Amino acid sequence: MAVIHRTTMSPGKLELLAGWLPQRPWYRGGAGTPQLAKAGGFRLDDPEGEVGIEFMVVTDAAGDGPVTYLVPLTYRGAPLEGAGDGLIGTSEHGVLGRRWIYDGTHDVVLVEQLLALLAGRTSAQDQNESGITDATVEVRTEGAGVPRGLTGPGGVTDTADASLVTVGPAGRERPVSTLTVCRVLHHGPAPAGDGAPARVLAGWSAPDGARQHGLFARLAAFED
């Protein structure tokens, strides 16, 4: 179970993201500095208890109108080998000391736990309280669902609104599916009937306080 500490981080998460988000191809805020506010999210547990996993939702008020982004984050006590492209920055945690903070699509622990969530083998946890399940996070499956043994990331490609993570069984050279992590969030139902074996939907708060709900991630149909 992840333990959430009531302490400080310097620099804070939003401060780090304000410098990182404008470099992303899916960022829509223009050339100005992002004006970020936390809008929701949830956590997943690392079975080994070493890596913090958070799916953070932030809303940016810069630009022509507010845009809401999903930023999966991992928090580590040491650099992750081979994941330099995913490093957002480092921060001093008031209890745990220096933490290396990564875009979680580049971190195998987050990817494997997201796959476990899609497969129904783990549950989403409250973003702010230890030991509480977040029942508002919804997993929808179709057909045979998600098999065991998938791992990743085999590669990460950013598009205009998502990050595409290749996944497959450990030891197999060719990936068998693509895990889509939505970056720009939209309120509304997820499309059905496209052959995706599993999806994650969750909620967040709009700037006016209205509750929003939409697609966070989906796993594509498997290749033979």
List per-block mean pLDDT (blocks of 10 residues) for the chain, which spans 224 residues: 65 94 93 92 95 97 91 96 92 80 96 94 92 93 78 90 91 76 93 78 95 95 69
Q: What pTM was estimated for this model as a whole?
A: 0.92
Please give the torsion angle defined by the CA atoms of residues 115, 116, 120 and 125, in that order, rounded to the nearest 10 degrees: -110
For the segment 130-182, what is each residue's pLDDT rounded down to a tens digit?
Answer: 889 999 999 998 876 787 778 888 789 999 999 999 998 876 666 588 999 99
Count of other CB atoms within 10 angstroms of residue 102: 25
Distance CA 204, CA 154 (A): 29
Q: End-to-end CA distance of the chain, in Å? A: 36
Q: For position 30, what pLDDT does the model report?
A: 79
User: In a 3-state reduction of DSSP, which class is residue 106?
Assistant: helix
